[in-house]
């Protein structure tokens, strides 16, 4: 995966490449609406020589885009147009997932019928389908999804009926949307933002931004790493204490041995930052 960068001279964002020798190249500089996106907050996915990503804003009505990049040439595949009043999404900020048929899936943080965001599918011809429009009872979706080998999508929301977020499952046709777990806050975590990962047994792993030890970053807590079993039972694998990280907001990656890796944007050493400059962490099985 190639990283995206924010902040060229005009602050519209860039996609850059760093070679093995450490030399940087900028394959694309975003120029903004109406013909281009800007602010590519999410990561990129790669299919052979083509990369796919999103921009949070920009496009034809400045509500965000889905784009491809191949041989240094960027193409806007879709511009979100929630201003048209058709219930479309707006402001995607996450990394996409792609199925074997070439369909792209992602979330928008706003838009939809109730303005709480959407899950969308974009086919290989650029046709968009809203698979789910979130409501106040659902909460607003996290920026990224996970797609399993059976074609099921998994994601998280913030807010919802409990106020602390949910973990959901849905099929790629958008017909079945199921809340697998509602975060209760407190020691069990609240507000899961990052993408999920799974093991072969069907356990899901993720982080919550808040909750855990409520004396850390009182009264909100500094977050947890959790496991959710196929039966819907949550296990807290790690509770952050500040010195080992705070408010993890990104997804995890999992290696073949079952180790989990992630980042927390705050916490760690406080010598140069008021509340710590962040950490990279590893959690063993």
Asked if 30 and 127 sit in the same domain, the reply is yes
Query: Around Cβ 69, how many Cβ atoms within 10 Å?
Result: 19
* Residue ranges of the chain whose pLDDT lies below 50: 1-10
Burial class for 42, CB neighbours closer than 10 Å (0-12, 13-18, 19+): buried
Is-above-0.75 flag for pTM?
A: yes
Asked if 59 and 178 sit in the same domain, the reply is yes
* pLDDT at residue 84, rounded to an integer: 60
pLDDT in tens, 50-96: 999 999 999 999 999 999 999 889 999 999 998 665 689 999 999 99
* pLDDT at residue 247, rounded to an integer: 94
The rounded distance, in Å, linking the Cα atoms of 252 and 245 is 14
* Number of separate domains in the chain: 2
Asked if 37 and 5 sit in the same domain, the reply is yes
3 state SS of 112: coil
Cα–chain-centroid distance for residue 284? 23
* pLDDT at residue 3, rounded to an integer: 41
* pLDDT at residue 7, rounded to an integer: 37
**Domain edge (last residue) among 121, 152, 182:** 182
Do 89 and 83 contact (CB within 8 A), yes or no? no
* pLDDT at residue 83, rounded to an integer: 64
Domain that holds residue 211: 185-285
**100, 149, 147, 150: which is closest to 119 by C-alpha?**
147
* pLDDT at residue 8, rounded to an integer: 36
* pLDDT at residue 42, rounded to an integer: 92
Asked if 115 and 196 sit in the same domain, the reply is no
Q: Is the dihedral of CA 124, 154, 226, 5 positive or negative?
A: positive
**Domain edge (last residue) among 137, 153, 182:** 182
Asked if 88 and 108 sit in the same domain, the reply is yes
């Amino acid at each position: 995966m190639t990283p995206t960068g924010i902040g060229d001279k005009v602050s519209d964002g860039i996609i850059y490449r760093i070679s093995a020798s450490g030399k940087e190249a900028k394959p694309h500089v975003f120029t903004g609406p109406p013909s281009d996106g800007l602010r590519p907050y999410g990561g990129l996915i790669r299919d052979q020589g083509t990369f796919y990503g999103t921009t949070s804003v920009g496009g034809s009505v400045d509500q965000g885009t889905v784009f491809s990049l191949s041989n240094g040439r960027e193409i806007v595949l879709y511009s979100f147009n929630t201003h048209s009043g058709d219930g479309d999404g707006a402001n995607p900020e996450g990394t996409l997932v792609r199925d074997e048929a070439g369909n792209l899936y992602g979330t928008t943080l706003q838009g939809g019928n109730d303005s709480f965001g959407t899950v969308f599918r974009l086919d290989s011809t650029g046709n968009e389908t809203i698979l789910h429009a979130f409501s106040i009872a659902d909460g607003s979706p996290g920026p990224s999804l996970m797609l399993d080998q059976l074609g099921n999508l998994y994601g998280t929301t913030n807010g919802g009926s409990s106020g602390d977020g949910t973990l959901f499952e849905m099929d790629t046709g958008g017909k079945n949307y199921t809340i697998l777990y509602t975060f209760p806050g407190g020691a069990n975590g609240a507000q899961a933002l990052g993408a999920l990962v799974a093991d072969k047994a069907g356990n899901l792993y993720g982080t919550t931004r808040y909750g855990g030890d409520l004396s850390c970053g009182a009264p909100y807590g500094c977050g947890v790493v959790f496991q959710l079993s196929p039966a819907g039972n949550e296990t807290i694998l790690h509770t952050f204490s500040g010195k080992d990280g705070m408010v993890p907001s990104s997804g995890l990656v999992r290696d073949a041995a079952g180790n989990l890796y992630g980042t927390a944007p705050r916490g760690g050493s406080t010598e140069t930052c008021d509340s710590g400059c962040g950490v990279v962490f590893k959690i063993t099985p």
